[in-house]
Amino acid sequence: MSPINSLRRNPWFETVAEARRRARRRLPGNVYGALVAGAEHGRTVDDNTAAFGELGFAPRVAGHHGARELATTVMGVETSMPVVVSPTGVQAVDPEGEVAVARAAANRGVIMGLSSFASKPVEEVCAANPNVFFQVYWSGERDVMLQRMERARRAGAKALVATLDWSFSQGRDWGSPTIPERIDLWTALRMAPQVLPHPGWLWRYARTGHVPDLTVPNLRPPGGRAPTFFGAYGEWMGTPPPTWDDVKWLREEWGEPFLLKGVCRVDDARRAVDAGVSAISVSNHGGNNLDTTPATIRLLPAIAEAVGSEIEVLLDGGVRRGGDVAKALALGARAVLIGRAYLWGLAANGQAGVENVLDILRGGLDSAVLGLGRASVHELCPDDLHVPPGFAVALGSGSGPGR
């Protein structure tokens, strides 16, 4: 398609799959590659989406409800539907980055998760959306962690998300994109063959008069400069991994609401309850962590069964349709978080593209609730699904050695 035709094309898209195709066309190869991510063979990233397709719906033929309730709360924060923007640290997709995502989420009444590795400062993001959950890794000395948390609290963040599952796994069989430390003239020249065939992306940056800034402003020390992405990554890698006592400390320092993201095992979910968290997300980091970890939707039922009456259980990984949201809720999730789906929307059409993705999920969820004969997302239950034998996987539910 010529650039002229592509400019004329209707910017609205009808599925997340189409947003992904447009993101692929619009973004330079290395930026698109960073969004697709995944680890090693990519079995987990694939299973996260494929597993949703293995679950079937059990629709009703009559007695449907004319109006359906999709709104809910997550850790006491209201949301117009059980979908939360998951924190992602990806620079260079769009010049407005997380601020555009936050505005889109605010316009659709949805909570915004902001990564500490994001490209925009927490103050700007909180100004764009009143309901921000700020995400941290276990990185740096304790006083530095406290300073970052307090900055987010002052900015107005409503909850802390601690993502602790990352194990620095490396390597993708299909190749990892090259990401520069910073963009100077030499880097720009070197990247030119990748960038020039994507005039739409280039134009978005050209209009701002800035090249992508690959720094991490939320990790800037008081009075200092924001570290580069790789500088921040180095600090994180060099920090000794947290114990359960550290999780408890983090939770006590922040208070509530506190979400522990990255739980795959029933025994970990129980320890999270003991550490005093308000919620967990059943998550394998979108298939970017230990490859061959099962899809999160397979892990959800056992975890929800074990701790769902004590804390809120969320899920992230592989959500691409409103029907996926309904399936996760039917199997015990309070809400889901989405990652790639909104990143592809952002790449395809900026803020409007993220709104487009949220509308697709809302429409699909509403259709599922309608077809299943339910009046509210809170009524969804396992009876609404066909769950094939052997689908669910319970990790860490035995009596193995604990730590």
Cβ-based burial of 242 (10 A; exposed 0-12, middle 13-18, buried ≥19): middle
Q: How far is the CB of 179 from ligand FMN (least distance, A)?
A: 11
Tell me whether residue 285 is one of the annotated catalytic residues. Answer: yes
Helix (H, G, I), strand (E, B) or coil at 156: coil
Residue 28 or residue 374: which is nearer to ligand FMN going by CB? 28
Between residues 89 and 301, which has the closer beta carbon with respect to ligand FMN? Answer: 89
* Closest CB 143 distance from ligand FMN, rounded Å: 22
Tokens of 261: 């993201």
121 binds ligand FMN (CB under 6 A): no
Q: Give the Cα separation of 52 and 225 in Å (integer).
A: 43
Site for ligand FMN in 302-331 (CB under 6 A): 316-319
The DSSP secondary-structure symbol of 75 reads T
What CA–CA distance (Å, rounded) separates 181 from 264? 33
User: One symbol per residue from 130 to 169: x for binding ligand FMN (CB under 6 A), - otherwise; what is it?
Assistant: -----x---------------------------x------
Query: Phi, psi (5° rounding) for residue 31?
Result: -70, -45
Rule CB under 6 A: which of 258-277 touch ligand FMN?
261
Amino acid at 22: R
Nearer to ligand FMN, 307 or 315 (CB): 315
Tell whether residue 218 is a contact of ligand FMN (CB under 6 A): no
- 3-class DSSP state for residue 31? helix
Answer yes or no: are the C-beta atoms of 235 and 227 closer than 8 Å.
Answer: yes
Cα–Cα distance for residue pair 334/321, rounded to 1 Å: 16
We find the least distance from the C-beta atom of residue 296 to ligand FMN, in angstroms, to be 8
Q: Evaluate whether 337 touches 289 at the Cβ level (below 8 Å).
A: no
Give the residue ranges of the annotated binding site: 87-89, 115, 135, 137, 163, 172, 261, 283, 285, 316-320, 339-340
Applying CB under 6 A, which of residues 20, 26, 265, 340 lies at the interface with ligand FMN?
Answer: 340
Coil, strand or helix at 115: strand
CA–CA distances in Å: residue 303 to residues 135, 165, 172, 239, 306: 22, 16, 29, 29, 5
DSSP single-letter state for residue 227:
P
- The one catalytic residue among 198, 210, 285, 386: 285
Q: How far is the CB of 122 from ligand FMN (least distance, A)?
A: 13
By CB under 6 A, is residue 115 in contact with ligand FMN?
yes
CB of 375 to ligand FMN, least distance (A): 28
What is the rounded distance in angstroms from the CA atom of residue 218 to the CA atom of residue 86? Answer: 17
> Which span (151-159, 185-193, 270-278, 337-345) binds ligand FMN, by CB under 6 A?
337-345
Binding mask 32-51 for ligand FMN (x = CB under 6 A): --xx-x----------x---
Q: Which is nearer to ligand FMN, 36 or 372 (CB)?
A: 36
Judge whether 145 and 250 are in contact, CB under 8 Å: yes
**Distance separating alpha carbons of residues 300 and 149, to the nearest angstrom:** 29
Bridge-partner residues for 114, per DSSP?
A: 134
Near ligand FMN by CB under 6 A, which window of 58-66, 204-212, 284-292, 393-401? 284-292
Q: Which stretch binds ligand FMN (CB under 6 A): 84-92, 144-152, 171-179, 326-334?
A: 84-92
| CB nearer to ligand FMN: pick between 218 and 349 | 218
# binding residues, ligand FMN (CB under 6 A): 26
* CA dihedral of residues 206, 211, 212, 218 (deg, nearest 10): -120
Nearest to 125 by CA among 176, 87, 170: 87
Which residues carry out catalysis? 285
Q: What are the residues binding ligand FMN (CB under 6 A)?
A: 34-35, 37, 48, 86-90, 115, 117, 135, 163, 261, 283, 285-286, 288, 316-319, 338-341
